[in-house]
Amino acid sequence: MKIEELFSLRGKTAVITGASKGIGKELAGLMAAAGANVALVARDEAQLNTVAEDLSLEKNRIAVFPFDLLNTNKIPKLIDDILAVFGSIDILLNNAGINLPKPPEDVTEQDWDMMLDLNLKSVFFLSKEAGKHMKVQGSGKIINMSSQMAQVGYFGRTPYCASKGGITQLTKALAIEWASSQINVNAIAPTFIETPMTENMFKDKEFHEQILNRIPLGRLAKIEDLYGAALFLSSDSSSMVTGQTIYVDGGWTVW
């Protein structure tokens, strides 16, 4: 195999959730640059259309699918709609998620349900429907966006930690279930990342300093730090890797 083909996604179709901004938007660009067709999934149709325009792909290589992942009963139709456009789903990147930092005493039932439903429940039901198709075609890559909080606890993030811990076990369980169909199920677990969504969080200098003191490499992650893991797990180069979580955390979890 030529080195340029090692991480090629040419001819593959990648579905990215939470694709309207931040990590999802950037990873959609990565997949497209590697040759994949991209299905962009998020709630905000206008933002999705902007992302599609920015990627400047041929119309047959990109499509937007406005969708609220909390509507799990409608996920089968979403998958059918994607298949109607592209004919296959080769990569599913479950990126959409939410965090509502609060001390446990202040967490409401609504907070808990929102985080667990989006961060964990929707991942299972989307993987379930995509997995049905992947089983028929005898191949597929499912990548779940986890967090270092799947392995460690941290202040103000109890439901979030629970949801990401669930992602670790979900990843392992689905990897076992679908290994015979040559479906690889893995996860990426970043540390704190500099994004527009976290910008206000790090205006708190004391909090910023606390986080940097926990990361041996001494800096926050950038979205670009996820590119290597995402491309590796999406491509044929990871065909013997399944049920694993790659920690892109600057060494946080080795303490």
Q: Which residues are catalytic?
A: 160
C-alpha 13/C-alpha 86 separation (Å) is 7
C-alpha 14/C-alpha 135 separation (Å) is 16
Q: Which residues contact 113 (CB under 8 A, 6 or more apart)?
A: none
Count CB-CB contacts under 10 A for residue 139: 16
> SS3 for 146?
coil
C-alpha 160/C-alpha 184 separation (Å) is 25
Helix axes 109-116, 158-178, angle to 10 degrees: 30
